[in-house]
Structure 1
Amino acid sequence: MRDLLSKKSHRQLELLELLFEHKRWFHRSELAELLNCTERAVKDDLSHVKSAFPDLIFHSSTNGIRIINTDDSDIEMVYHHFFKHSTHFSILEFIFFNEGCQAESICKEFYISSSSLYRIISQINKVIKRQFQFEVSLTPVQIIGNERDIRYFFAQYFSEKYYFLEWPFENFSSEPLSQLLELVYKETSFPMNLSTHRMLKLLLVTNLYRIKFGHFMEVDKDSFNDQSLDFLMQAEGIEGVAQSFESEYNISLDEEVVCQLFVSYFQKMFFIDESLFMKCVKKDSYVEKSYHLLSDFIDQISVKYQIEMENRDNLIWHLHNTAHLYRQELFTEFILFDQKGNTIRNFQNIFPKFVSDIKKELSHYLETLEVCSSSMMVNHLSYTFITHTKHLVINLLQNQPKLKVLVMSNFDQYHAKFVAETLSYYCSNNFELEVWTELELSKESLEDSSYDIIISNFIIPPIENKRLIYSNNINTVSLIYLLNAMMFIRLDE
């Protein structure tokens, strides 16, 4: 979807991503090679992004250029900026909110000619069709195609373009939606939290706009759970919610509308409750197959990495649901900001082999069930496994062999012991800290020692396969940071 940005904006976004991700100096020549452009283009791009993002601090020197303040919020701000200043994305959003308008009104809104509009729409459709099954029509002005893809695309778009606390939907206030969702949570005991609640509101309000313009998803009766729909329509308090919908939205909350709002969660392969899932494992051959595939996968990972799966069935339930909500929950696929993919990559930097094994086995699971097994879907399912497995990170870290650390000081033994005790308290349990007890010291003796890391306040010549930390005054705060960082460097090897 990044091809919906102009070529220049696309390059500037990649430039900022490089500076944020690597947090180091870059020469213009290196950036030009990485971005496949000229040094002159890099110079112009740097000038533009410095002006566009005054809150970012760019540091230039003979070493090159880097971004100094790389708070997590800053990179999110970058994506919001490129969404906001993209003509293609802005036109798509305008059409979503104003279906049925005249093409001339779009031209007036964006100060473009009719020929330019048709050219832009042609470009939009060309890019969208590479990934999604829908297109924009100007005769009449509407968005047509696979309704699931349309609803997912725009819900994901709104989640990426707007900040978490923003609500850009003028026609639909959030209160009636919150009332409806709270009723669903109450009646189903569905586990709820802040982020899931916001996700559902974005999905439902997107569905409401599509319903308002007369676009409905085809519902396969064989895969639809009528009992869930009937249960909700008979829930105590539904009349009050329906009145709010009528007065606020001018929409009747009848069975058809409720079905369209919750069609993803009323499908038979989605289980709102873990106990219902476990019962279905015994009755439905497909669900049984899904369960046993995931069970075998978890057994393999558990044995290979010596991890005790405390929430085994709960984890399988979540994985099954995730696998059957393709393009029906946010972050399955991204538009510009691959936030979930970045999360997985960061975890993979720490535990590369583990994540590689997870992805391989989950890809096999998806392929065996003949559901979408794209790289983004595998990432999405891997994220569910990593975040929903109880105490996963703790178990993985505890299973790592401890790093042996030697602390030496040219002051006296008491100083070395003081530093070792302090580091032992503040650093993780993945280190064994000791002080040098021999009377003599040589480079050869250090080479032959079993220590992985050597900390000293005097200079030691480089030693192969040893990490040396020299600190003249042994700054404890800096050492804590360096030591913990070295643990993750070890895990990445």
Structure 2
Amino acid sequence: MEKEFALTQKLLTLLDSEYRWFTLAEIEEQLSVSDKTIRKIIDETQQELPPSITIEISRGKGVILHYEKRNVAFGEVISSMYRQRTFYQLLDLLFLEGGRYGLEELADKLYMSSSSLKKLIIRLNSHELKQYHLRITYSMPEVKGSEINIRYFYWKLYYDAYEFSGWPFPGMDQAQMLEYITTVESENDIVYFLNAKRSLSFLAAIMMTRVLQGKYADIPRGQYHWESSLLHSSITSWVRTLEQRYSIHLPLDETRFLQAMLSLGQYNYYDEAKISTMIAMKKSKLMQIQEEEDQIVNHFLMLALAAFPAIDMNDRFIWEIGEFFEKLRLENSLPDMIAISTSSLTEYVQRECRPMYQSVMSCMQEWGKRYPGILYNDYHLTKLTLLIGSSLRYNSKKAFLLIGGEFSIRHYVAKLIKNEIGDELIINTSIMEGLTDEIIQKHNIDFVISTFPVELNTVPVVIISTIPTKRDLENIRKELMQP
């Protein structure tokens, strides 16, 4: 996505998050651009929005987005704007007809000069395509690079442009692709999330379009056991159906590509009894530690438990960690893709869950010393951080909150801490007869939260600001994790 549109999308998403006036200072901080640039983006964006949506900018108030939420899917508005961008139209044309036209012919099709088109190609090669290790050639423009990377790039491109509605593949039948995926679901007692199912139909269409153009995936030979994977039989049948429908032969690598992508998709199991059986089987295998894949999971679990003593190490969590590493091994069978896979949540997790993210990263670095051949990146660290974060079970403890000279706000701060920490923490704000170790023991206090240093020998003291910061809250969480 080109930088200019990325800023537009970020601005609109911010304004749509709340119906209120956003100050220019707030927007500057979020977008990391100047006041002048923000005004320019607003002026240009307003011209593209439908009449029912307006951006109002007012001196002294800031910026507000007006529209009737009941009648507008705002995400679709952004997607529609995305499709109008020249860079998207160029990449869409190259997907279907790349390598067929010279630079000047292609420029005519896009109603632009050849010099402007060349500048656009240079910019795309230097930014949007670079992170995917792809490039567009100049004389006969075409996207070049690893076939798997090309498919992954176009998968993201088209889903951003048609996330909510529409179908950008004129030679493919969307209903048929969705029916194929439905068959895979019914044969394996699984159900894909609605957005995942739509996304996978895009991927299948991209794969078949590329194959019909004579572009094939190359999957390196490795140690992954494709035949024993859950979806192997269903995907093999699907590939045979595709061969008959399009009168072509699909190499084994294409079967494996499709199997990998559907296995990595987000799905749930229909049958709870089946889930319980699978969890029990996984737990039994991990206890025996006979296979390398079980050793991989067990080694990480030991490291994670040492780093996060508050993990609720129940059977479900162990199974989910096992599923994570199963998918990680599968992704490693597609090394081109694992080098470029990303998550939209990574920036948020690195910012809002920084201590936990760093601890997870340390665990994986230690784990990687034993398994250096298995690659991972920020995308996988993000998934692990969210998985572990949702499984932490803090010890229920009682804290005494001691506010220095700002006694009047003690209840406000107590409520703020409770909202962030949860029910595991009981906060006592009552006035005590002094603050000694004897008094602390009398009231069964486990630790003290204070805005100034306190000399106590029997319980820890967590020092916070008058209004707790994120770091303060993290320190309180760490205290709850202590035995």
Both structures adopt the same fold (TM-score exceeding 0.5): yes
The range that moved more, 204-213 or 156-165, is: 156-165
Alignment match, 1:136: 136
C-alpha change, 1:436 and 1:10, in structure 2 (3 Å) is closer
Alignment match, 1:314: 319
Mapped partners of 1:342, 1:56: distance in 2: 29
Task: Confirm whether residue 258 of structure 1 aligns to residue 255 of structure 2.
Answer: yes
For the 8 Å contact 2:356–2:385, the answer to whether it is kept is no
Match of 1:293 among 277, 289, 299: 299
Superimposed CA distance per residue, residues 191-243 of structure 1 (whole angstroms, 9 cap, x where no aligned partner): 6443443343233222222212211122333445463599956x69948x845
C-alpha change, 1:58 and 1:31, in structure 2 (3 Å) is same
Mapped partners of 2:262, 2:8: distance in 1: 39
Following TM superposition, by how much is the alpha carbon of 1:306 offset from its aligned partner in structure 2, in angstroms?
A: 5.2
C-alpha change, 1:435 and 1:101, in structure 2 (3 Å) is same
Task: Confirm whether residue 341 of structure 1 aligns to residue 346 of structure 2.
Answer: yes
Following TM superposition, by how much is the alpha carbon of 1:315 offset from its aligned partner in structure 2, in angstroms?
A: 1.7
Superimposed CA distance per residue, residues 341-396 of structure 1 (whole angstroms, 9 cap, x where no aligned partner): 36636xx74x654444334434554575344443344224434555xx6xx37x45
For the 8 Å contact 1:219–1:263, the answer to whether it is kept is no
State the one-letter code of the partner of 1:314.
Answer: W
Following TM superposition, by how much is the alpha carbon of 1:296 offset from its aligned partner in structure 2, in angstroms?
A: 1.4
Task: Confirm whether residue 204 of structure 1 aligns to residue 204 of structure 2.
Answer: yes
The range that moved more, 136-145 or 276-285, is: 276-285
Alignment match, 1:52: 48
Alignment match, 1:410: none
Q: How does 1:4-15 map to 2 (within 5 A)?
A: 4-6=2-4, 9-15=5-11
Alignment match, 1:65: 63
For the 8 Å contact 1:25–1:64, the answer to whether it is kept is yes
Mapped partners of 1:164, 1:400: distance in 2: 46
Following TM superposition, by how much is the alpha carbon of 1:111 offset from its aligned partner in structure 2, in angstroms?
A: 0.4
Mapped partners of 1:228, 1:5: distance in 2: 44
The range that moved more, 358-367 or 145-154, is: 358-367
Q: How does 1:265-276 map to 2 (within 5 A)?
A: none
Following TM superposition, by how much is the alpha carbon of 1:136 offset from its aligned partner in structure 2, in angstroms?
A: 2.1
State the one-letter code of the partner of 1:87.
Answer: T
Mapped partners of 2:161, 2:153: distance in 1: 12
Alignment match, 1:472: none
Task: Confirm whether residue 378 of structure 1 aligns to residue 381 of structure 2.
Answer: yes
Mapped partners of 2:77, 2:386: distance in 1: 24
Alignment match, 1:98: 97
For the 8 Å contact 1:133–1:149, the answer to whether it is kept is yes
Following TM superposition, by how much is the alpha carbon of 1:110 offset from its aligned partner in structure 2, in angstroms?
A: 1.1
Mapped partners of 2:199, 2:388: distance in 1: 19
State the one-letter code of the partner of 1:116.
Answer: S
Following TM superposition, by how much is the alpha carbon of 1:135 offset from its aligned partner in structure 2, in angstroms?
A: 2.0
* RMSD after superposition: 5.2
C-alpha change, 1:218 and 1:311, in structure 2 (3 Å) is same
Superimposed CA distance per residue, residues 61-103 of structure 1 (whole angstroms, 9 cap, x where no aligned partner): 5243345789899774575255323322321122112234323
| Sequence identity (%) | 14
- SS class of match (1:48): helix
Mapped partners of 2:69, 2:338: distance in 1: 24
For the 8 Å contact 1:57–1:69, the answer to whether it is kept is no
C-alpha change, 1:138 and 1:384, in structure 2 (3 Å) is farther
Mapped partners of 2:32, 2:357: distance in 1: 31
State the one-letter code of the partner of 2:40.
Answer: D
Q: How does 1:28-427 map to 2 (within 5 A)?
A: 28=24, 39-53=35-49, 54-55=52-53, 58=56, 60-67=58-65, 76-77=75-76, 79-80=78-79, 83-103=82-102, 104-128=104-128, 130-189=130-189, 192-223=192-223, 225=225, 227=227, 232=232, 238=237, 242-243=240-241, 246-247=244-245, 249=246, 251-252=248-249, 257-262=254-259, 282=289, 284-285=291-292, 287-303=293-309, 305=310, 307-324=312-329, 325=331, 333-334=341-342, 339-341=344-346, 344=349, 349=352, 353-362=355-364, 364-365=366-367, 369-386=372-389, 392=391, 395=393, 399=396
Mapped partners of 2:344, 2:311: distance in 1: 29
C-alpha change, 1:141 and 1:225, in structure 2 (3 Å) is farther
C-alpha change, 1:296 and 1:90, in structure 2 (3 Å) is farther
Following TM superposition, by how much is the alpha carbon of 1:21 offset from its aligned partner in structure 2, in angstroms?
A: 6.8
- SS class of match (1:170): coil
Mapped partners of 2:136, 2:180: distance in 1: 31
For the 8 Å contact 2:48–2:81, the answer to whether it is kept is no
The range that moved more, 356-365 or 119-128, is: 356-365
State the one-letter code of the partner of 1:357.
Answer: S
Mapped partners of 1:231, 1:310: distance in 2: 23
For the 8 Å contact 2:398–2:426, the answer to whether it is kept is no
TM-score by length of 1: 0.63
State the one-letter code of the partner of 2:60.
Answer: T
Mapped partners of 1:113, 1:329: distance in 2: 34
Alignment match, 2:274: none
For the 8 Å contact 1:294–1:365, the answer to whether it is kept is yes
Runs of 5+ consecutive residues of structure 1 not aligned to the other structure = 405-423, 438-449, 453-463, 468-485
Mapped partners of 1:212, 1:156: distance in 2: 20
C-alpha change, 1:342 and 1:230, in structure 2 (3 Å) is closer
Alignment match, 2:454: none
The range that moved more, 68-77 or 180-189, is: 68-77
C-alpha change, 1:79 and 1:169, in structure 2 (3 Å) is same
Mapped partners of 2:474, 2:122: distance in 1: 45
C-alpha change, 1:131 and 1:165, in structure 2 (3 Å) is same
C-alpha change, 1:64 and 1:307, in structure 2 (3 Å) is same
For the 8 Å contact 1:156–1:331, the answer to whether it is kept is no
Mapped partners of 1:277, 1:252: distance in 2: 41
For the 8 Å contact 2:305–2:311, the answer to whether it is kept is no
Following TM superposition, by how much is the alpha carbon of 1:171 offset from its aligned partner in structure 2, in angstroms?
A: 1.3
Mapped partners of 1:265, 1:284: distance in 2: 24
Following TM superposition, by how much is the alpha carbon of 1:160 offset from its aligned partner in structure 2, in angstroms?
A: 2.1
C-alpha change, 1:150 and 1:221, in structure 2 (3 Å) is same
Mapped partners of 2:187, 2:111: distance in 1: 50
Q: How many pairs were matched up?
A: 411
- SS class of match (2:142): strand
Runs of 5+ consecutive residues of structure 2 not aligned to the other structure = 270-277, 402-417, 432-444, 450-463, 476-483
For the 8 Å contact 2:79–2:161, the answer to whether it is kept is yes
